[in-house]
Amino acid sequence: MADLGDAPPRDDMTLLLARVRALSAEHTTSWEFPADPAVVTDARQATARQLADWGLDELAFTTELVVSELVTNAIRYAGGPVGLRLIRKNVLVCEVTDPSNTQPRLRRARTTDEGGRGLFLIAQLTTRWGSRYGQSGKTIWTEQLLTTPKPSEL
């Protein structure tokens, strides 16, 4: 920028920094489901089995709730197929991929609303969550800590 002189730049610039790590196959698993509400149960069961295999039974209830909400939303609002991937390393990452490009919105539902609480619950139950776009759709991801932090770490 210093070499450009006093004239302001005509375009904005972006710097992307990425930290990439290779994970062995034992740290990831994935499934693909059709756009059928009946598969939400299958997604929850597959998640529970995988968490048990990894020795993460204490995360099963929360993760099943997250999976249920994200897969249901993907089927309801985006159609299919719906991808589900779990990644276990320093945190547990849950990713749900669908063919829609519509960004989900976190909102606070009124007491009389019948829906609209899903992403709010996910935000409360997970450490972080977000979304990213791919070539054909988007992925909603969540992170959960694998260990309970000490009060001094909060």
Cα torsion for 147, 92, 121, 118, to the nearest 10°?
-170
DSSP 8-state assignment for residue 151 = G
pLDDT of res. 79:
82
Higher local confidence (pLDDT), 149 or 15: 15
Q: Which residue has the tokens 């006093």?
A: 6
- The predicted-structure confidence for 76-123, as pLDDT tens digits, reads as follows 888 879 999 999 989 999 999 999 988 776 666 666 655 566 788 898
What letter represents residue 15's amino acid?
L
CA dist., res. 76 & res. 37, Å (int): 8
pLDDT of res. 117:
65
| Whether residue 20 has pLDDT greater than 60 | yes
- The predicted-structure confidence for 45-58, as pLDDT tens digits, reads as follows 999 999 999 999 99
pLDDT band at 128 (very low <50, low <70, confident <90, very high): very high
**What's the whole-number average pLDDT of the chain?**
85
* Phi, psi (deg, nearest 5) at residue 39: -80, -10
